[in-house]
Amino acid sequence: MALDLYIDGFAFCTQPPQPQDFAPWFEARRLRRMETQSAQILLASCQALEMAGQPVAQEKPFALSLGIGPGSLQNTCKFIDSILQDGDDLSSPTAFAGSVHNSAGLTLSLFLNLRGPCVTSGQFNTSFGAALLTAQNFLYSSMAPYVLVAVADSLNPLTDALREKYPRLFSGEVQGDYPPHTAAAFLISARKTPHTKAQITDFQFSCQQTADVPSLGEGWAPLAAAPAIQLCSLLKQKERTFEVKDVSLGVCTVIKGEIFHAY
């Protein structure tokens, strides 16, 4: 598929958003029940749209391609706790609704007034590459003039407490001080605009040979947003070109491009 991809706006979020962070766009009362992952992905999307010179709350025919790792573990744990405490009949429907992978997609569609097609890719580490591939197909098929590509992570905070006690069981979890919740967003178009920040000149999302596939105990962790945040960081630098390469679970994602420093 030969198609130019342009990045008009981008942003990432690695800390829990505060109500005042949304002050330019939404009233705080609309966010009071929003869990961390959805709030982060909404904030990054608002900032990406604003960078691209696009209205945040106005209705838009934009498509949405969402990449999620293990989903919202915060709401998943709340839902399981409600089953244990209150039984199946009285379990929390609110926590359940927020635990499904497409809950963040619903949040973005409602708050940002997106009226194009929406697809959520839940493929752990490879979710960002899958979301970008979906966006490429949306633009190739002329289904929308722009695609909002958003990706988010949610790591279980209990793993830090249990990893030392059960090192073999949690050997595949993230090492170091990676934030428990992260998100990134990009506004992608098929043509250059006055707001374009960079061009993706090469995008490959392909399978690797079986011998190159790591086992789950060899440093693997469900970090869907990691390559997306890396791309945001590279776009902020003063280099002429950028390259992001991520190999995980037998899938290789390669993104190369050119940065337009005029912005």
pLDDT digit string, tens, across residues 51-80: 999 999 899 999 999 998 766 666 666 656
Are the C-beta atoms of residues 233 and 171 closer than 8 Å to each other?
Answer: no
Average model confidence (pLDDT) across the chain:
80
Q: Is the pLDDT of residue 2 over 80?
A: no
C-alpha closest to that of 12 among 51, 56, 64: 51
Architecture of the 5-259 domain = 3-Layer(aba) Sandwich (3.40)
CA distance 9 to 30: 25
Question: What was the pLDDT predicted at 222?
Answer: 54
- Here the contacts of 77-86 (C-beta below 8 Å, separation 24 or greater) are 77/156
Neighbouring-strand partners of residue 35: none
User: Is residue 137 predicted with pLDDT exceeding 50?
Assistant: yes
* This model's pTM is above 0.85: no
Residue written as token pair 């919202």: 72
> CA-to-CA distance for 62 and 114, rounded, in angstroms?
6
- What are the helix (H) ranges across 58-172? 73-86, 93-99, 103-112, 127-140, 158-163
The token pair at 111 is 């708050």
Rounded mean pLDDT, 216-222: 46
**Among 130, 2, 112, residue whose Cα is nearest residue 63:** 112
Give the pLDDT mean for 230-245: 91
Helix axes 127-140, 226-236, angle to 10 degrees: 70
Take residue 213 and report the two structure tokens written for it: 């596939």
Q: Is the pLDDT of residue 90 over 90?
A: no
DSSP state of 147: E
d(CA 203, CA 256): 6
